[in-house]
Structure 1
């Protein structure tokens, strides 16, 4: 294949930053193969037509996996390697970071189908952006054109899911081929590292992502690179987030086969106490029962049952609300919100296998001596308005001299 004069090694001089693998592997752009370099070559001509400038410059970036993609011909792989050696193709283990970095440092347009959902928290300018991104589409006669696109405005759980996908991909535990997704056969196992003091996979380890390594797919400890021993299946877990006044204050896990009580100060075990996260003297402290809801995981789904005095409501995906069933379970999904109080909500995280330790933000300080005992605080049955305060009647009498 001929060299491409429109490629530049300097992102600052480029008109477009192109996610090459994203284009080469997009079947809607024509061709019968899962990966076809001809799609990218046609895109270069399409970008020149889009700008009306035949000297349009492109900064090309791709994942390292594209250089060894068996769906490309040997000549196509040789061409990519040649561009890489000449500095005309930036190759990264995962290209997304470099694409966003180049976009922030320049005025270039980004050509990609990716929504970069795992970058929205760190780069808020991506959210709903209307002027920095374009996407390719198939034109007549095998041509490839581009059109402007509006970046997505994802929900919280969608960003969490994409962040997890990126972490799994980096650990070799996510298969992008044909939508295969997470390697659940590895993620739903318990592992042991031969190093006894291993913080992640030792006898007292808290567990983290193992790493899939090499052509034979060995599962190794990411710290010691020692092969892990398979201890058998582990139960499914789901992560929930506690939102108070709109901010995420705490995260916790619900494990399959073990019901979990959530409330102000649960009597049941195991339980998640919410009192440390509720503002002092807030109505939620007296409204939320000691045992308010019971959570269960069954078949990978979250089930919720109301066990409170004042009731629990569910906000449905269409915005309506309804009462949670009393002492019977109902399935809820990512677009549901469990309302313990108007200001206190439980939402399901988009993550299924990778969990952050602890909570977002620091917990409030522990109450000091003399503070109210949360376990003894009553649950409010109703919230009647307080009567207006009246001043005590003044006593009339002789002033003592």
Structure 2
């Protein structure tokens, strides 16, 4: 049985938690192969040099896929398997959860190149962290050295995109190894489960994320594990977020081929009603029109048209703000912000493939006096994001113009 004096099975005794697959697959650390266990072994020596302590202990964590990675030699795969059986290598389907969990529980430093952007909402201490993470880099003579790193400070849309990538990866719908990314050919199809009462893929379902089985490539229902029937192309959708006073209060879907009116209480159908998400006695209730903007997807792009009484503005990534001409369509990018009022804005989510999901424990919107029509329940809800930075240029006011 192969062991290693610097590996420990007890995370509480470790000085470092190491993302093993992340290191083994990093080509800049030397070697010609896409995966090389020698990089990890060299890292163990590098950590001793970094700490100046020959008794440095490492808690090693890896994705299960590393154990069968064909780019490793047979002997390297055997070594990993023996470490796993001895409890010296913690193996998970996806290692990220365990790495963060161990770091939080032990205060050990983490060795990785990963920014864990999809974990920032659940673990706010990751955002811009400067003292808990280190990264390897090539040293002299084939050695591996270690240096401190600053964790990223991602925007809200970047966190959404990474969260989506993790969900797709867990469902077998993201090809990370070959670098092709999302399995678009499968994600842009409609699927039906043979179980008639299936909540995810039954006749009345709005659509959930299917699962692709790795060995067979079959697309199955994640609940019943039965093969799904392909019903044809799925129209493109975009998710938009309603941010009120800096907090994301609501999310809704826009489908290609179906224009959508958004406003305080839209007359048209389909319409997205904002009144339940606005604070009581807020000036935004007076400023935002019943029909405020018309949204459309065309050629994969989001378009917005102003149909309001008081105007709509578009804030660009550089902070400049421009009024949307009434009746004309303007393209909205992923980092653009549509300003309906000084305190209310629409943003495009970072997610590209949208499926029905609902946040647990989310309270329903408060009722409003206007009850001329029933509003649709929100299709997607999510935790709040950070308040965006201020912008330059003319902004819609907080005033109390007569609403229409």
Same fold, judged at TM 0.5 (above): yes
Contact 1:12–1:106 at 8 Å: present in 2 too?
yes
Contact 2:136–2:144 at 8 Å: present in 1 too?
yes
- How far the C-alpha of 1:42 sits from its partner, in A, is 0.9
Q: What is the aligned partner in structure 2 of residue 366 from structure 1?
A: 367
- Answer yes or no: is 1:278 the counterpart of 2:298: no
- Answer yes or no: is 1:243 the counterpart of 2:254: no
Distance 2:3 2:366 in 1: 64
Structure 1 segment 51-200 matched on structure 2, within 5 A: 51-200=51-200
Distance 1:382 1:253 in 2: 27
Q: Which has the higher contact order (CA 8 A, sep 6+)?
A: 2
Provide closer, same or farther for how the CA distance between residues 3 and 188 of structure 1 changes in structure 2, counting only shifts above 3 A. same
- Where do 5+ consecutive residues of structure 2 fail to align? 374-395
Provide closer, same or farther for how the CA distance between residues 223 and 2 of structure 1 changes in structure 2, counting only shifts above 3 A. closer
Q: Deviations over 1:206-231 (max 9, x none)?
A: 21111111412111001111000001
Contact 1:250–1:358 at 8 Å: present in 2 too?
no
Distance 1:214 1:355 in 2: 21
Structure 1 segment 367-382 matched on structure 2, within 5 A: 367=368, 371=369
Q: Which moved more, 1:316-325 or 1:182-191?
A: 316-325
Distance 1:147 1:358 in 2: 41
- Where do 5+ consecutive residues of structure 1 fail to align? 386-401
Aligned length: 379
- How far the C-alpha of 1:279 sits from its partner, in A, is 2.0
- How far the C-alpha of 1:305 sits from its partner, in A, is 1.6
Distance 1:381 1:220 in 2: 51
> Which has more radius of gyration?
1
Q: Deviations over 1:275-325 (max 9, x none)?
A: 222222221112111211111112322121212121111111111211123
Provide closer, same or farther for how the CA distance between residues 218 and 372 of structure 1 changes in structure 2, counting only shifts above 3 A. closer
TM-score, length of structure 2 as denominator length: 0.89
Where in structure 1 do 4 or more consecutive aligned residues deviate above 3 Å?
354-361, 371-375, 380-385
Provide closer, same or farther for how the CA distance between residues 358 and 74 of structure 1 changes in structure 2, counting only shifts above 3 A. closer
RMSD (Å) for aligned C-alpha atoms: 2.2
- How far the C-alpha of 1:15 sits from its partner, in A, is 0.8
Distance 2:31 2:154 in 1: 31
Q: What is the aligned partner in structure 2 of residue 398 from structure 1?
A: none
Q: Which moved more, 1:357-366 or 1:282-291?
A: 357-366
Contact 2:8–2:88 at 8 Å: present in 1 too?
yes
